[in-house]
Every structure is written in structure tokens, then in C-alpha cells.
């Protein structure tokens, strides 16, 4: 585990020696700041209308702000994670340093886990900074802490799936642009795959719904942690890392 952490911290620091981390974080925070301001304004406007018309009910903070905020965050991360993962192994291949990794005393799986963890740490930093939004809501209102916690947990697990796809394609090509494009296309496909379930039979439709990445996030957004959703995300991440190992292992023999 010490070797994994050493690789992770080394790669994590390397993000900040290039413009990648700064551009990704700045873009993410700019978009999320605008999303939070828009959701907050819309929430206040909706509740003002309810009061002006004398309606008894109002929109809750969880329903009006938390759920759409983290729902939008998952979309933004779908676009940004390819920029985080595209260089992990592609750059090693392009610079021909991949051979050093293959012959180092560190095992191949330790290398993969270290690079995955470095990318996950960057996402964790990005999501962690946005925790200021729930803090503001707690200071000014009374949001459901359970929904906040499960939404963040679901977002991190879903991001882990994006990263596992990205690290796989990064291991398959030395072209960073190709790796990033394939990562985004695959993530988007697995996001929208449930749409096809409407035109298929019940068995195939249920299977396609199960494969949908966003479909397993819905329970998290409602404040529920279902073991089936957690197992799906963890298994998806593990499968992505396993395939990455197989790709790099075949490269070693070539």
C-alpha cells in the first residue's frame, strides 16, 4: 500500500506542474458556482411564488438545490474527467517511460492503483471545495444532511467509474486526445444507455437500465444508500482497473 500511495502522491503533484489541474479546477468551480447561484435564485423565486399565491407547501432545500446541484455536477464531471485521465499512461507511452514502469520493482497493479488514486484525489479536491455550498445552506437554512452526504458519496463513486474508463483508454493509446475522446464517448454512452430500454423488451430493458451509470445514482440523490448501487459502482471500477491491467500486461509481452 505504501508503494501505491507513493505513486499516487507523485502523480498528483505532477498535475500541478502543468496547466491541466488549474484549468480543470478553475473551469469546474466557475461552472459549479454559476449552477449554485442559479439554483439558489430559482429556489427563492419558487418559494416566493408559493407564498404570494397563498399555497401551503414550498420547495425543500434538498429538492430545490441539493439534488439539481449534484445532478449537474455529475454532468460536468463527465466532461472534465477525460482531461484528468488522458495523460496517465498515454504520456508514459509517448515519452517511452512505460518500459521503466514495466521493469520497476513495483507491480503493475500497484502502478495502476496509484495512478487511479492520484486522479481520484484530484476529483476529491474539486468536490471537496464545493462543500462550501452545503455549508452556506446549513448556515442559512435547514437542508437534509442525509441527502447531502449520499449525494456527495454517489458523486464520488460515479466519478470513480469515469476515471476507471479513462485510465483504461489511456492505457490503450499513446495519443492523449484519442484517450480523452474515447473516455468521454464511453461515459456518455453508459450514461444514456437506459434510453434504449424504452424500445426493447422487458428483459433487455431491465438489463440496459442496470448498465446505466446515472441510473444507480438516483437513489443516492434521494438520500438512500442501496447496497446494489454501491456494489455496481465498486464492481465497475474494479473491472475497469482489471481490464487496464490486462492491456498493459499484453503490452509488456509485446
pLDDT digits (tens, 9 = 90+) for 170-199: 988 888 899 999 999 998 888 888 776 666
* Mean pLDDT for the stretch of residues 95-116: 79
Q: Is the dihedral of CA 121, 126, 129, 134 positive or negative?
A: negative
CA–CA dist 209, 195 (Å, integer): 8
Give me the pLDDT at residue 19, please.
84
What does the mean pLDDT of the chain come to? 85
Give me the pLDDT at residue 2, please.
80
Which three-class secondary structure string do you get for the chain?
Answer: CHHHHHHHHHHHHHHCCCHHHHHHHHHHHHHHHHHHHHHHHHHHHHHHHHHHCCCCCCCCHHHHHHHHHHHHHHHHHHHHHHHHHCCCCHHHHHCCCHHHHHHCCCCHHHHHHHHHHHHHHHHHHHHHHCCHHHHHHHHHCCCCHHHHHHHHHHHHHHHHHHHHHHHHHHHHCCCHHHHHHHHHHHHHHHHHHHHHHHHCCHHHHHHHHHHCCHHHCHHHHCCCCCHHHHHHHHHHHHHHHHHHHHHHHHHHHC
Give me the pLDDT at residue 52, please.
67
Give me the pLDDT at residue 26, please.
92
pLDDT digits (tens, 9 = 90+) for 208-249: 778 888 888 988 988 888 899 999 999 999 999 999 989 888
CA–CA dist 224, 31 (Å, integer): 27
Asked if residues 173 and 90 have their Cβ atoms less than 8 Å apart, the reply is yes
pLDDT at 90 over 90: no
pLDDT digits (tens, 9 = 90+) for 41-84: 877 777 777 666 666 566 677 777 888 889 899 999 999 999 99
Asked if residues 242 and 235 have their Cβ atoms less than 8 Å apart, the reply is no
Give me the pLDDT at residue 122, please.
93
pLDDT at 252 over 70: no
CA 165 to chain centre: 10
Give me the pLDDT at residue 56, please.
55
Give me the pLDDT at residue 30, please.
92
Q: Is the pTM of this model over 0.95?
A: no
Give me the pLDDT at residue 204, please.
76
Give me the pLDDT at residue 236, please.
94
Amino acid at each position: 500500500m505504501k508503494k501505491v500511495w507513493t505513486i499516487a502522491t507523485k502523480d498528483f503533484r505532477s498535475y500541478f506542474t502543468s496547466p491541466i489541474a488549474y484549468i480543470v479546477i478553475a473551469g469546474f468551480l466557475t461552472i459549479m458556482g454559476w449552477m449554485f447561484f442559479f439554483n439558489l435564485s430559482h429556489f427563492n423565486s419558487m418559494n416566493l411564488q408559493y407564498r404570494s399565491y397563498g399555497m401551503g407547501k414550498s420547495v425543500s432545500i434538498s429538492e430545490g438545490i441539493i439534488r439539481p446541484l449534484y445532478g449537474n455536477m455529475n454532468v460536468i464531471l463527465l466532461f472534465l474527467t477525460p482531461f484528468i485521465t488522458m495523460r496517465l499512461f498515454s504520456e508514459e507511452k509517448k515519452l517511452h517511460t512505460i518500459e521503466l514502469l514495466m521493469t520497476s520493482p513495483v507491480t503493475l497493479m500497484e502502478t495502476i492503483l496509484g495512478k487511479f488514486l492520484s486522479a481520484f484525489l484530484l476529483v476529491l479536491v474539486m468536490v471537496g471545495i464545493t462543500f462550501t455550498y452545503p455549508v452556506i445552506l446549513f448556515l442559512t437554512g435547514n437542508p437534509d444532511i442525509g441527502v447531502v452526504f449520499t449525494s456527495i458519496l454517489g458523486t464520488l463513486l460515479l466519478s470513480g467509474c469515469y476515471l476507471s474508463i479513462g485510465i483504461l483508454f489511456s492505457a490503450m493509446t499513446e495519443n492523449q486526445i484519442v484517450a480523452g475522446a474515447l473516455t468521454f464517448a464511453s461515459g456518455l454512452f453508459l450514461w444514456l444507455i437506459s434510453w434504449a430500454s424504452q424500445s426493447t423488451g422487458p428483459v433487455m430493458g431491465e438489463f440496459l437500465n442496470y448498465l446505466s451509470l446515472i441510473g444507480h445514482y438516483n437513489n443516492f440523490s434521494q438520500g438512500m444508500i442501496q447496497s446494489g448501487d454501491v456494489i455496481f459502482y465498486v464492481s465497475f471500477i474494479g473491472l475497469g482497473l482489471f481490464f487496464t491491467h490486462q492491456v498493459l500486461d499484453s503490452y509488456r509481452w509485446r
